[in-house]
C-alpha cells in the first residue's frame, strides 16, 4: 500500500508553504485495483440508485477511498443514507435535511446574528451571569448581547461560542483551506448549531478535529453538518463530561481490559507506573488519531475503521430506532454486508454494545512499542514521550491489520475465561 509509484494525493489538501516542515509526511497513495476510485464507486450503483455496499466495503478495506469521492462515500459509511434506497429517495431525504438544517441555523441566527454571516467570535459575547458585557471589540466582530439573557439553555450555548471560535482558529491551521475566514466560519457555524441542538453534551474540545474533515470534504454545509452528526452518534459518549468523570473513560477501561488480556506483562508494567487507567491514550480515542497521522492518512484510517465496523442496519437504527429489535442481524445472507470487524461479533452472537475498533487500534500502537515501553519507560512521562514518537511514523493499514489480530486474540482468550 505504501510502495512508491501510486498517485500523489497531497494536492487535494494543500499545506501552507511555511508549515511544510512541521506536518507529518503522508504515506497514503491511491492504488489502481485496490483504492475505491470514482469509476468503481459510480459503477457500484444500479440504474435507479441501489448501492452494492458489499463490493464498496471490500474495496475500502483493501485500499481506502480516493479523495475526489471521500465525502459522498462517508455519508453512506456513517449511516447517513441507506444503500438500498434509490437516487430519488435520497434526493428527497437530502432536501428535507437541508431544510431542517437551515431552519436550525436561522433559529441560532435569531439569537446570535453572527451565525451564517461568514464571521465568528473568539471572545465572550455575554457575562456568565447573563448580563451584557460593557464594551465591544474588533475581535467580537462588533456584536455583543444587548439585553440580559435569562434562559439557561441559551446562556449556556452563548457562553461556549467563544471557546468554539478559539478552537476553530487552531484547527488544521497548516492547511491552505483554513486561510479563508469564510471556511473557518463554516466550521464554527456547524459546531455552534450542533452544540445548540445537543445541550446534554454541549461543546467539548476535540469535536472541532472530528468536524473539520467534513467541512473540507463536503461543499454543501448542510451535508457536512449531517455527516458530522452521524460521526458524533458513534463518538458522542466520549465527549460526555461531568464534574467527576469523562465519557472516554469507558473506552479507556475497555483498552485496559484488552491489554490485560492480550499482554498481561505490559499491562502490569503500566500499572506499576500508575498508568493502569491508560489516561495517556485519551487524545488518540477522543480525536481518532488526528495528531498521530497526517491529514490524509487520518482520513484513510477513519474510513478503514468505519468500513470494518459497518453494519447494514446502521441507517435504519438512526432513522427508526423504535424498530431496532426487529432488524435481521443473524440472516446469513446479510453477513457479507457487514464490515469484517463487526461481522465477527455478529457471528459470535455477541452483538450487544461492544468494543470499538479504535480501542484495538490503540492496543496495536501500544504493542508496536511494547519493547521500548518495557525497557525504557520508568514513569508516565516516558510513556507519553515514547508514544509521541509515533506521529508521522504510523502505517494506518498496518495498524488496522494488527488491531484485527489483537481483536481475534482478545476474543479467544476472553472466551476461555
Cα separation of 114 and 120, whole Å?
Answer: 6
**What's the rounded Cα separation, in Å, for the pair 94 and 79?**
13
Are 293 and 190 found together in one domain?
Answer: no
What's residue 331's pLDDT?
A: 64
Statement to judge: residues 259 and 403 lie in one domain? yes
Q: What share of the chain is helix, strand, coil (3-state, %, to 5)?
A: 60, 0, 35
Shared domain for 233 and 372, answered yes or no, is no
123 close to 162: Cβ distance less than 8 angstroms: yes
Q: Check: CB of residue 379 under 8 Å from CB of residue 273.
A: yes
Same domain? For 262 and 188 the reply is no
Q: What are phi and psi of 385, to 5 degrees?
A: -65, -45
| Position 287 pLDDT exceeds 80 | yes
- Answer whether residue 355 is part of any domain: yes
The domain in which residue 401 lies consists of 241-415
Q: Is 64 within a domain?
A: no
**How many separate domains does the chain show?**
2
pLDDT 10s digits, 88-101: 999 999 999 999 99
Among 199, 223, 238, residue at a domain's last position: 238
Q: Please give the full DSSP string across 217-236, using - where no structure is assigned.
A: H-SSHHHHHHHHHHHHHHHG
| Residue 337's CATH number | 1.10.472
Q: Is 53 among the domain residues? A: no
| 218-400-264 Cα angle (round to 5) | 135
Place of cell 498521530: 292
Asked whether residue 207 is domain-assigned, the answer is yes
pLDDT higher for 76 or 396? 76
Last residue in a domain, options 183, 210, 238: 238
Give the separation between CA 193 and CA 185, rounded to whole angstroms: 12
Task: For residues 114 and 145, state if they share a domain.
Answer: yes
400 domain-assigned: yes
Residue 242: its pLDDT value, please? 75
Q: Of residues 392 and 160, which shows the higher confidence score? A: 160
Mark whether 225 and 121 lie in a shared domain: yes
Q: Are residues 245 and 231 in the same domain?
A: no
232 and 245 belong to one structural domain? no
Residue 206 sits in the same domain as residue 305: no
Domain CATH number, residue 106: 1.10.8.270
pTM: 0.92
pLDDT-derived band at 332 (thresholds 50, 70, 90) equals low
Question: Is 249 a residue whose pLDDT tops 70?
Answer: yes
pLDDT for 5 beyond 50: no
Burial of 325 (0-12, 13-18, 19+ CB in 10 A): exposed
Res 8 pLDDT > 90: no
Question: Among 294-298, 353-357, 374-378, 379-383, whose mean pLDDT is lowest?
Answer: 353-357
Percent of the chain with pLDDT over 70: 91
Query: Of all residues in the chain, what percent carry a pLDDT higher than 90?
Result: 69
- Mean pLDDT computed over every residue of the chain: 89
235-258 mean pLDDT: 86
Domain identity same for 256 and 388: yes
Amino acid at each position: 500500500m505504501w510502495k512508491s509509484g501510486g498517485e500523489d494525493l497531497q494536492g487535494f489538501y494543500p499545506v501552507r508553504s511555511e508549515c511544510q516542515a512541521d506536518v507529518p509526511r503522508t504515506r497514503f497513495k491511491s492504488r489502481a485495483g485496490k483504492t475505491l476510485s470514482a469509476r468503481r464507486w459510480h459503477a457500484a450503483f444500479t440504474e435507479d440508485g441501489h448501492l452494492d455496499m458489499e463490493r464498496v466495503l471490500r474495496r475500502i478495506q483493501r485500499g481506502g477511498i480516493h479523495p475526489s469521492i471521500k465525502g459522498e462515500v462517508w455519508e453512506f459509511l456513517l449511516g447517513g443514507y441507506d444503500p438500498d434506497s434509490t437516487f430519488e429517495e435520497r434526493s428527497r431525504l437530502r432536501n428535507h435535511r437541508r431544510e431542517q438544517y437551515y431552519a436550525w441555523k436561522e433559529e441560532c441566527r435569531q439569537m446570535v446574528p453572527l451565525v451564517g454571516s461568514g464571521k465568528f467570535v473568539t471572545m465572550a459575547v455575554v457575562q456568565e451571569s447573563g448580563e451584557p458585557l460593557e464594551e465591544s471589540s474588533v475581535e467580537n466582530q462588533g456584536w455583543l448581547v444587548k439585553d440580559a439573557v435569562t434562559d439557561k439553555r441559551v446562556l449556556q450555548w452563548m457562553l461556549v461560542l467563544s471557546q468554539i471560535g478559539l478552537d476553530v482558529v487552531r484547527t488544521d491551521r497548516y492547511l491552505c483551506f483554513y486561510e479563508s475566514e469564510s471556511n473557518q466560519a463554516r466550521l464554527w457555524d456547524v459546531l455552534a448549531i450542533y452544540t445548540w441542538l445537543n445541550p446534554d453534551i454541549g461543546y467539548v474540545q476535540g469535536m472541532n478535529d472530528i468536524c473539520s474533515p467534513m467541512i473540507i470534504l463536503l461543499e454543501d454545509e448542510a451535508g457536512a453538518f449531517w455527516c458530522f452528526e452521524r460521526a458524533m452518534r458513534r463518538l458522542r459518549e466520549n465527549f460526555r463530561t461531568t464534574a467527576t468523570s469523562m465519557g472516554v473513560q469507558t473506552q479507556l477501561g475497555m483498552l485496559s481490559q484488552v491489554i490485560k488480556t492480550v499482554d498481561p506483562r505490559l499491562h502490569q508494567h503500566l500499572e506499576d507506573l500508575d498508568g493502569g487507567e491508560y489516561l495517556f491514550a485519551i487524545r488518540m480515542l477522543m480525536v481518532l488519531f488526528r495528531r498521530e497521522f497526517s491529514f490524509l492518512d487520518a482520513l484513510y484510517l477513519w474510513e478503514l475503521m468505519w468500513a470494518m465496523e459497518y453494519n447494514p442496519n446502521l441507517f435504519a437504527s438512526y432513522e427508526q430506532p423504535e424498530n431496532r429489535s426487529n432488524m435481521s442481524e443473524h440472516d446469513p445472507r446479510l453477513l457479507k454486508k457487514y464490515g469484517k470487524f463487526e461481522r465477527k461479533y455478529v457471528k459470535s452472537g455477541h452483538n450487544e454494545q461492544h468494543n470499538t475498533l479504535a480501542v484495538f487500534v490503540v492496543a496495536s500502537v501500544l504493542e508496536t512499542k511494547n519493547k521500548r515501553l518495557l525497557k525504557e519507560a520508568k514513569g508516565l512521562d516516558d510513556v507519553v514521550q515514547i508514544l509521541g514518537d509515533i506521529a508521522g511514523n504510523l502505517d494506518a493499514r498496518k495498524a488496522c491489520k494488527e488491531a484485527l489480530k489483537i481483536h481475534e486474540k482478545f476474543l479467544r482468550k476472553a472466551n476461555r475465561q
